[in-house]
Amino acid sequence: MRFIYNIGIGITGFVLKCIGLFNEKIKKGVTGRNAAFEILKSNLCASDKTLWFHCASLGEYEQGLPVFQKLRKHYYDYKIILSFFSPSGYDIRKNSPIADVVVYLPLDTKRNAKRFLDLVHPKLTLFVKYDIWPNFLKELGHRNLRAILISASFRKTQIYFKPYGGLFKKALLSFEHIFTQNESSKSLLESIGYQNVTVSGDTRFDRVTSQLESDNTLGFVEAFKQDKLCVVVGSSWPEDEALFIEFINSRRNLGVKYIVAPHNIKSGQIQNFASKLRAKTVLYSEKDNEELKHFDVLIIDTIGLLSKIYSSSDIAYVGGAMGTTGLHNILEPAVFGPPIVIGKNYIKFPEAQAMIDNGGVFSVSDQMGFNAILRKLIADSDFRRLSGSKNTEFIKKNTGAVIQILNYLRI
């Protein structure tokens, strides 16, 4: 199995180079991985004490950040290496203050794993949620280096729990300890003989709770919102935006303001969305704070503001689940206490089901259902406040994962 896997990784590297000739995102990853070793050699020396944090992408980085921050403070004299597999994580967090060196993770070949660890030689390695690479983990084990997996979430359909998944099962079992988000993930690990597991919960709860300690005031949001009810649409895709186009254009939105932060901020797609709205619409890049109060829809055509914008939401809609791209983070708005509406495809997101059951999140499958719940949330202030308060309570109840992880690490 390992022989076949190693051949497959080699083929993958070649295929990615070919695809990269035509795809800018793939090209970024290929170029970044090629540069990783030179970056490490330029920033590390054999005498450095180091920690290594690995995240697949931006979502896993945000998930691991509260733990990373505590370790950064405790291991103040260590150099921290942060690696990403995806360009979307690397591009946005390549200047992360919690790391001394940020690189793409080289492809999981035996040679790359040895070369990477020769340069990094970490005292402790943390992987977040998934992105479990057999050759890197095998090499960590050969060198008796500590590796922990945090915020892990498993499903029985994954390869680790299949008869043919021996290589990946072995990689999973090589972690010193695994902290899972839920009991079902712990049970799955125990079913394959892994016992060093703790249900700590999801570190994202700790992450979003820390947002309450920040100054979330945005002058342009206040200028736009005034004293009106505000619906914030976060990380929307075209399938999500279609719902709002129909709803806003139907004139059911009298006296309501909308802030829309699309996932994709390419100019063409944003202009296409804006052109279909019959309400007065302005882009963030074109805003004039003095004039914002005269608009009904504000489209955020930049990144990095959404978590603060959610603090001004009376109702939140989180995108990704109306189509098949994957539900975005519903905990970000939940911490501020608005009721949340999402699409129908959320099966891989256990927190969504839990929050639906709790009464603070509402899933819709079509325009009719969307119109019904949004009208009710807008018209019924008591229902809106009660639903939102359930989200606040849910967040408070589920914080504490970071403390458990740090206690295990004796920090």
What is the secondary structure of 328-390 as a DSSP string? --SHHHHTT---EEE-S--TT-HHHHHHHHHTSEEE--SHHHHHHHHHHHHH-HHHHHHHHHH
Tell me the pairing of strands 315-318 and 229-236.
Answer: parallel
Buried b (16+ CB within 10 A) or exposed e, 170-193: bbbbbbebbbbbbeebbebbeeee
CA 327 to chain centre: 10
Segment holding 24, helix H or strand E: helix 24-43
**284 to each of 44, 88, 298, how far by Cα in Å?**
41, 22, 7
The residue with tokens 């940020």 is: 102
Cα–Cα distance, 16 to 28 (Å, whole number): 10
Q: Is 291 a catalytic residue?
A: no
Token pair of 223 as six digits: 């200028």
Cα–Cα distance, 80 to 72 (Å, whole number): 8
What is the secondary structure of 27-47 as a DSSP string? HHHHHHHHHHHHHHHHH--TT
- The active-site residue out of 24, 60, 290, 393 is 60
Question: Whose CA is closest to 85, among 124, 59, 114, 66?
Answer: 59
**203 to each of 129, 138, 263, how far by Cα in Å?**
10, 26, 23
Q: Hey, which residues are catalytic here?
A: 60
